[in-house]
A and B are shown apart, each in its own frame.
Chain A
């Protein structure tokens, strides 16, 4: 199906022109100040009526020079920047950066630390998916579902605030551990949040998954083939929606993902409905993962006992010369990571979030490169949109879940 051939300018010799009268092609700039484009993206559209015949996607409106900024501070000072990558699930960015740096430094974190990271990663994944699903539902008009999901997310964000002190700017991970242990009532509140999220997902299922209007809006829209998805480098729910069972949590387990049982939901056609269903199922799976981990987690330290990696306790800092020196060195020079380079990727909510770190042996990163999962999807977006209508842009773009902070860095 070559829809592009409707544009007379794009007809090749010998192509049969479309029989119907070709109307005037309208150029329309959608965004960056458009309700659906988050203020961070612009589509230069060519429209034939309401049909998109060409789309040029412009990204970069939220470019802040993240990678360059990271080179200016110490390794630890990079962590707050990672909060701002995918701001719907900041903890995942935090932890994956720390994991990458730890692997480069050859540090193994205590088991409890890994458990907490896994639990909170899954919590963030749920929050991220709830944002994506809820906002997509809102954008196709089902505003109530959006509110239900945002309410469930709010509970998770409040829990995140309870643990880390912030909803988005968490900075909870540290190289070699975490800033602090979980609060005492964490398990209780987490279980309550899981129960509430399950209720919300049940409501959403009733309101959307059996709603004919919603299914019509999503099914068969924004299709991209399995081969194209792979060749564009798209990962995560978008890839799984085409039927590829690729999940880094399963295929290359890190943290504690090898100790839990979970399914990797996949779709068949790679349309928006599959994407929606995959994300929907992943929320359910993530909740299961959290429950399993809550049953396994044991008390213990949450940071490595190595003063060259993690700042010593305040008691040592105040009462011993070695402690004071260790704190001074880490604050002023940064954590010294041996010279070398590493690429480490984990499964973030949107797909493969990779960190390529280069260290020259000093306390500052020589180079930090992020592989943002949704940037690659943005490349393929034009292919998904051409042939559809303006209304399909909304549902497709919503299901891609482009997060400006991560895409533009």
Chain B
């Protein structure tokens, strides 16, 4: 098996995972919000009305895409047609490829070759993620600019200001994470979280960098432009913000990009702070339970458990973001900026200094 084939399969796998999870999240969001709000939610998906029960998330997997992509693709007069068409892809593409650096499993041996369970074996994975997340802003800005609509323009101005502000806090929080792991390679970070501390506690990053976790999670939610950070698209203020003038498949792309960003944030948080694919107390040869000794497990089961652990953790953080989205109101533009610049940035900076001082004091620095 050539490396190319393996790479292609892995890319496809991750792409399908992110896309399907995004579509699945749309269903979870519709059903979850219904659950929160005492409603029934999406229950109309069926095949010509012959299936006696509701087809659940086929709603978003099949019905919604069919609906969205068969709608009229309306392009308003006076807009920049090229940029107008480009913007949805500029929004969706970075969101989809960000996941490439996130490891979803340990390396496995396949046909005599060692295969890393992530798309690219990038030793600067974190920088790559930071770069790709920043790319997302272009989609919003170009969409607002190309639409020839003042609401859209206002939305994109808000969006660019918001994303740039929160990237700073996020970047600084990532610096403290990098300091404590001593690596930029995300696979190494996950490996480092496989230990236990005090004999029973998995050595997850959240126990070492709780402040960074909160900042990255909040900033990540701000990057994905969802309530309470949805001021670029605040539907009651700016109609639909930067994608006011989009319809059909292009609008679906923006929605999908938002959900893909949710998945990316969940994946990032999982990898950095919650052990990534690490199943608690599971090593390559089996479980090492505290007080109970070792239980041997075959390599295949270990891999499957790790994949499952990663998926469940990602799903949990996706759900957490949905829960937050349906619980709190939206910030105002200036309050959001205050929170970013006066709240999170100084805390992140202090966290970096504190982490660095701690490492220096323990003599690990030099």
Interface residues of A (CB under 8 A from B): 26, 28, 34-36, 50, 137-144, 147-148, 151, 207-208, 211, 213-214, 216-217, 389-394
Contacts and interface: CB of A to CB of B under 8 A. Distances in A.
Given A144-B36, A147-B39, A390-B154, A213 B237 contact: no
Contact of B329 (A26, A50, A137): A137
A213 B236 contact: no
B227 interface: yes
A251 B328 CA distance: 39
29 contacts: A26-B150, A34-B239, A36-B236, A138-B236, A140-B236, A141-B227, A141-B228, A141-B234, A141-B328, A142-B328, A143-B37, A143-B326, A144-B33, A144-B37, A147-B37, A147-B39, A211-B328, A211-B329, A213-B329, A213-B335, A216-B331, A217-B329, A217-B331, A389-B334, A390-B238, A391-B231, A391-B237, A391-B332, A393-B237
B326 A144 contact: yes
A211 B330 CA distance: 11
A392 B332 contact: yes
Nearest to B39: A147
Given A216-B331, A391-B237, 16 more contacts: A35-B239, A50-B333, A141-B230, A144-B327, A147-B37, A147-B39, A148-B37, A213-B329, A213-B330, A213-B331, A214-B329, A217-B329, A217-B330, A389-B334, A390-B238, A394-B237
Contacts of B33: 143-144
Contacts of A213: 228, 328-331, 335
B333 A391 contact: yes
B114 interface: no
Interface residues of B, number: 28
**Interface on chain A toward B: helix, strand, loop, or mixed SS?**
helix
A211 B331 CA distance: 11
Q: Which of A28, A139, A213, A217 has most B Cβ within 10 Å? A: A213
Contacts of A390: 154, 237-238
B38 interface: yes
B123 interface: no
B285 interface: no
Interface in B1-57: 33, 36-39
B335 A216 contact: yes
A123 B334 CA distance: 39
Among all A-B residue pairs, the 10 with the closest Cβ atoms: A141-B330, A147-B37, A142-B329, A139-B236, A141-B329, A391-B332, A140-B329, A214-B329, A36-B236, A141-B227
Contacts of A393: 237
A216 B336 CA distance: 11
Contacts of B158: 50
A391 to B, nearest CB: 4
Given A213-B228, A217-B329, A389-B333, A28 B237 contact: no
B113 interface: no
B73 interface: no
B296 interface: no
Contacts of B150: 26, 28
Nearest to A390: B237
A35 B59 CA distance: 26
